[in-house]
Amino acid sequence: MRVCRSLAEFQILRKAIPPVKNVGLVPTMGALHRGHLSLMELAKSQCDIVISTIFVNPTQFGPNEDLSKYPRQEIEDIKKLEQSKHVDYLLLPTVEDVYPKGFSTFVNVEGIDEQKEAKSRPGHFRGVTTVVSKLFNMTQPQKAYFGAKDAMQCIVIKKMVRDLNIPIEIVIGQTLREPDGLAMSSRNVYLSEQDRKISTILYKSLSAAEQLWNLGKGSHCEVHTSASNLVQEILKVLSQEPSVLVDYISVGSRADGSELSIVDYHEGAIISLAVKLGTTRLIDNIELLPK
Amino acid sequence: MRVCRSLAEFQILRKAIPPVKNVGLVPTMGALHRGHLSLMELAKSQCDIVISTIFVNPTQFGPNEDLSKYPRQEIEDIKKLEQSKHVDYLLLPTVEDVYPKGFSTFVNVEGIDEQKEAKSRPGHFRGVTTVVSKLFNMTQPQKAYFGAKDAMQCIVIKKMVRDLNIPIEIVIGQTLREPDGLAMSSRNVYLSEQDRKISTILYKSLSAAEQLWNLGKGSHCEVHTSASNLVQEILKVLSQEPSVLVDYISVGSRADGSELSIVDYHEGAIISLAVKLGTTRLIDNIELLPK
């Protein structure tokens, strides 16, 4: 694996990759876990060359968010990638490389402000779409890989690609979970031992809503259920752990993430949620598959 | 020349162009004049394959601008391109191709609101950068060609390309003028016979300012001049034609278009102006070259 710490150096290497090669990109913010590695494995199984990037992107963090304390563990990350053998090029650009003096161009998917994750993190997705556009242009892949755990991110990036005719296929890799159900996330390291145990309640609550969904879906007489039924089921489970502070529970369209009040059993939905546990914000989601 | 009226059809043709070929793009809004054709000739001299597009882009017109009456003359345009033999593929996408239902992603160069052309046409450059991004992605050229007449457009597109790491070289072709000095523009057809004569005053005024600039530049004791000196010189000339209503006169940085109050003889500037003549808005500019 070739490790590049400067964009200029990387651009020379990128130009040397023959155009016939199928290139896959796995952009990350580092602090790599098995979820990331599974995306790289998927990329390697579908592409000739896999490029990964590690860049903690300042423009997607709000002023009161965890940019400065976001886990940075470059040396361990590189070791993991070397061992996994799925990645051919690792680009670690500097903030000055990505946002040089005078930078002021943004890519923005408009009209998503009412979606709950977007509302909870104003400006977040604008930062994501901007940096992802830049990484796409820097690396020029045929395919790019993102994890399903960031459900709205996947929807927003797919929409940007469609709207701007970006000639890249977006591939979503499934959420990897710890044995007790917690979705893998770089932010899990923030959790105290106590909160780590409590955190399993997130997936339990989503699974309870899924069970309720499957029950209704199996019935012959019902065609839809109300979003609030599903939300109540989740809240019932989460209430077992009073230290879990709910930021939002969203029942959204699988197509565009827009909030649903009625969920058709033939359409399905994505239930996503964000909670605060201690000082840590955790998100998770589950896809309710249609009939 | 292959003429494509659908994006889907064009995408198949684009994929068939071998990656070793050097592709040039000349995006236009049609109503082609010799200025456009000179860009295509330049493109053909530098590239293996030239793609041109004709698309009157609704998102770059303000609500009170001339979108509906903008000259459309597809058949004449195609004839001109066939005769010139500089273009290999002509894409004429439909509005629905470019902005399908649900479209909502914009590319925006921020921080240019104080520049006079941007201030005069709010939202214009956001429409330009968005459609140009889309055309870049649709056609995937190595080089793209724009005319110097739209001075601020050239600056904004170059900035977008730099900021977003778009792997395309922007080539600016010089403004072509009628024998009497009027800059060629698709909007010139709007002018009455009387106004067509009057319109020559624009280039006369810019040339007068250039003369003044060259005079100062030649002097050994001066290092700079004030922008208002140059503006006064232009106004003096324009005042000979009272039917010419000045929208703005801008003395801007050659690097980023920002307004200058002092112009260094070692830095130069771009003087650009917009006027209303009858119901027609005309723009023109001249580059003041540094010592």
In a domain, B178, yes or no: no
Query: For residue B99, what is the nearest residue in chain A, using CA coordinates?
Result: A163
Same domain? B164 vs B259: no
Torsion of Cα atoms, A234 then A235 then A237 then A243, to 10°: 130
| Domain contains B181 | no
Name the nearest CA neighbour of B271 among B253, B244, B245: B253
Question: Does a structural domain hold residue A178?
Answer: no
B43 pLDDT tier (thresholds 50, 70, 90)? very high
List the structure tokens of A91. 């680009």
At B88-112, the pLDDT tens digits run 999 999 999 999 999 999 999 999 9
Residue B266, both tokens? 């070692």
DSSP letter (8 states) at residue A184? P
Residue B262 β-bridge partners: B226
Q: Which of B124, B147, B173 is the last residue of a domain?
A: B173
Mark whether A243 and A268 lie in a shared domain. Answer: yes
Both tokens of B143, joined, read 């080089």
Residue (of A99, A88, A98, A100) closest to A16 by Cα position: A88
* Other residues' Cβ atoms within 10 Å of the Cβ of residue B13: 14
- Tell me the shortest Cα–Cα distance from B147 to chain A, in angstroms: 22
Indicate if A55 and A169 belong to the same structural domain. yes
Q: How far is CA B94 from CA A48, B100, B130, in A?
A: 36, 10, 16
Q: And the tokens for A105?
A: 């161009």
Q: DSSP assignment, residue B97?
A: H
Mean pLDDT of B6-29: 96
CB contact under 8 A, A138 and B166: no
For residue B221, the model assigns a pLDDT of 85
Residues A133 and A210 in one domain: no
Is residue A207 domain-shared with residue A86, that is, in the same domain? no
Q: Are the beta carbons of B105 and A110 separated by less than 8 Å?
A: yes
Q: SS3 for A262?
A: strand
- Residue A160, domain member (yes or no): yes
Going from the C-alpha of B71 to that of each of A52, B32, B55, B68, B185, the distances in angstroms are 48, 10, 11, 9, 11
pLDDT band, very low/low/confident/very high, at B225 (cuts 50, 70, 90): very high
| CATH assignment of the domain containing B28 | 3.40.50.620
Please tell me the distance from the alpha carbon of residue B207 to that of residue B244, in angstroms, as a whole number.
Answer: 17
Look up the CATH number of the domain holding residue B195.
3.30.1300.10
In the residue annotation, A33 being an active-site residue is answered as no
How far apart CA B70 and CA B23 sit, in angstroms, is 29
Which is more confidently placed, B222 or A243?
A243
Contact B104 A134 (CB under 8 A): no
Q: Which residues contact B226 (CB under 8 A, 6 or more apart)?
A: B261, B262, B263
The span from the CA of A209 to the CA of A231, in Å, is 8
Task: Classify residue B259 by its DSSP letter.
Answer: B
Q: Among A164, A249, A137, which residue's Cα sits nearest to residue B162?
A: A137
E strands within B132-206? 143-147, 169-173
Instruction: Judge contact between A23 and A141, C-beta under 8 A.
Output: yes
- Residue B106 located in a structural domain: yes
Could you say which of B151, B173, B195 is where a domain stops? B173
Please give the helix or strand (H or E) that residue A251 lies within, else none.
Answer: strand A244-252
Instruction: Look at residues A171, A161, A127 and name the one whose alpha carbon lies nearest to residue A24.
Output: A171
Q: Is B20 on the interface with A (CB under 8 A)?
A: yes
Of the residues B55, B57, B104, the best mutation for testing chain A's interface (the one with the most A CB atoms within 10 Å of its CB) is B104
Considering only CB atoms, A108 lies closest to which of B102, B108, B160, namely B108
State the residue range of the domain holding B204: 186-286
Closest CA of chain A from B236, distance in Å:
36
Surface of A (244-283) touching B: CB under 8 A: 256
- Mean pLDDT for B24-42 is 98
Cα A259 to its chain centre, rounded Å, is 18
- Give the span between the Cα atoms of B275 and B243, in whole angstroms: 10
- Residue A103 pLDDT more than 90? yes
B110 lies in the same domain as B70: yes
| Chain B residue with Cα closest to A140 | B167
The CA–CA distances, whole Å, from B34 to B40, B197, B255 equal: 10, 19, 27
Looking at the structure, do residues B95 and B225 belong to the same domain, yes or no? no
Whether residue B191 contacts residue B278, with contact meaning beta carbons closer than 8 Å, is answered with yes
| Average confidence score pLDDT of chain A | 97
Domain count, chain B: 2
Query: Do residue A234 and residue A159 come from a single domain?
Result: no
pLDDT band at residue A101, thresholds of 50, 70 and 90? very high
Does B132 score more than 90 pLDDT? yes
What would the two tokens of residue B76 be?
A: 């004449």
Predicted pLDDT at A221: 85
Q: pLDDT-derived band of residue A220, with 50, 70 and 90 as boundaries?
A: confident
Give CA–CA dist B252/B66, Å, rounded: 26
- What integer pLDDT is reported at residue A37 of this predicted model? 98
Walk across the sheet containing B143-147 and list its strands. B2-4, B89-91, B49-54, B23-28, B143-147, B169-173
- Using the beta-carbon criterion (under 8 Å), do A105 and B159 form an inter-chain contact? yes
Q: Which residues of A touch B166 (CB under 8 A)?
A: 137
CA distances from A256 to A119, A131, A136, A155, B195 (A): 15, 21, 22, 6, 51
Residue of B nearest to A255 (CA): B102
According to DSSP H, which parts of chain A are helical?
A: 7-16, 34-46, 74-84, 95-98, 116-120, 124-139, 151-163, 193-198, 201-218, 227-238
Q: Is B191 in the same domain as B165?
A: no
Residue A20 near chain B (CB below 8 Å): yes
Do B164 and B194 reside in the same domain of the chain? no
pLDDT digits (tens, 9 = 90+) for A173-199: 999 999 999 999 999 999 999 999 999
Helix-helix angle A34-46:A74-84, to 10 degrees: 40
Which of B140, B173, B206 is at the close of a domain? B173
CA–CA dist B271, B233 (Å, integer): 12
Q: A181 in a domain, yes or no?
A: no
> In the predicted model, is pLDDT for residue A78 greater than 90?
yes
B227 domain-assigned: yes
A91 vs B: CB within 8 A: no
Is residue B29 within 8 A of residue B66, CB to CB? The reply is no
Q: Let me know: does A140 contact A177? Beta carbons within 8 Å.
A: no
What confidence category does residue B203 fall into, taking pLDDT thresholds of 50, 70 and 90? very high
Q: Which two tokens stand for residue A270?
A: 């994505």
Same domain (yes/no): A56, A163: yes
Distance CA B145, CA B150 (A): 12
CB-count burial class (<10 Å; 0-12, 13-18, 19+) for A96: exposed
Q: Which residue do the tokens 């946002």 mark?
A: A99
Same domain assignment for residues A8 and A144: yes
Q: Does the residue A179 lie in any domain?
A: no
- Which run of H or E residues covers position B275? strand B269-277
The complex scores an ipTM of 0.95
A167 neighbourhood in chain B, CB within 8 Å: 137, 140
